[in-house]
Structure 1
């Protein structure tokens, strides 16, 4: 049986559970020390996944920024950067920074969009047929077969919801910013769904830490009976 990677979901949110506001500019929820913590978690991961919507909205590079951490990865026999992973059901613009920085890239495309995505990216990433709709379990099996032992998932909300409702997350890092957004049109960290992490199956708190004005909570996400 294929060994799937350990899946760690990571996000920052406002006190009222928003990932961003509704303005064109990205809302910075973390502080400098928390961004550095995230950089460390990235450096410890074999791959980092974000959805195509997050790529379109934020145009992130999704890199390990610390020279020392990248050097430590190389010293351990790892690539300088974790593999970058995304998934799409419709296609994605090859001009995004995601495809032009860092190391290897993997794109899981829905079967109807597979040929379109492969043509759009034109060798910038390895494109994999992810099924119709994209099967996250099969994707994790494929990542395990490619040697990915630890997968960090950075969003967005649709992706987090899918991993959580399908009980595919092993750990959650939740960083809470000390303010409210209060805009119903802004993206939330999860969407409605049927979650195994419910009142009868509570997650375990692994750590609570203050990072400046941010509160970090680490949960073990596999639910256990209360």
Structure 2
């Protein structure tokens, strides 16, 4: 399995404002890059916080890319994966429509009624007691044929993936704006590392729109 974390952040490392509003950081060129990255993936992964805040669809926008996937014998859109320990994903969320297969990763602690409601629209992957065990969940996704995963956030999930040693590649668009705020979300939230920090190897830097796209591989992977 190959896991790519993709994000857009401000010049001061923020994904959004302290109010967690959706902020446009990228331009057209980066939107096209992200769409290409989605089209090249078997699944797009987000945490439930992103679903609740933004209600993303997580589908490929460019019709040419959709046709290419179909010509290659794939589904029109990659699968969608929501990491949702307590099954908070609303049953009317855009990510649960019939545009693509959706997997929702939950725990044994998730309320039965909530799990049953989601199960009418998606396939449940149960892994962990109180918090999704990402190693088990991703192994279950790999067993379902999902080999290349693109992670689109948020910061809590991204930190947890680094903590679990599951990230192979990090792509970050750094946009030409400053957001600020000690409580504004960053690329990797969660508890944070205090030692044994993940090691990144810079593979490329290129100008894109009025910002820069940075690509790292992780720990020599």
Using the size of structure 2 for normalisation, the TM-score is 0.92
Structure 2 residue aligned with 1:57 = 53
1:72 deviates by 0.3
Change (3 A) 1:119 1:7: same
Q: For residues 1-226 of structure 1, what are the structure 2 equivalents within 5 Å?
A: 5-23=1-19, 25-91=21-87, 92-100=89-97, 102-113=99-110, 115-132=112-129, 133-191=131-189, 192-194=191-193, 198=197, 202-222=199-219
Unaligned runs of 5+ in 2: none
Unaligned runs of 5+ in 1: none
Aligned-CA RMSD value = 1.8
1:89 deviates by 1.8
Report the more deviating stretch, 162-171 or 201-210: 201-210
Q: Is the 8 A contact 1:114 1:127 kept in 2?
A: no
1:102 deviates by 2.2
The whole-number CA distance in structure 1 between the counterparts of 2:36 and 2:111 is 33
Aligned residue-pair number? 218
Using the size of structure 1 for normalisation, the TM-score is 0.90
The whole-number CA distance in structure 1 between the counterparts of 2:78 and 2:111 is 24
Report the more deviating stretch, 42-51 or 181-190: 181-190
Instruction: Please state whether the residue corresponding to 1:112 is helix, strand or coil.
Output: coil
The whole-number CA distance in structure 2 between the counterparts of 1:207 and 1:61 is 29
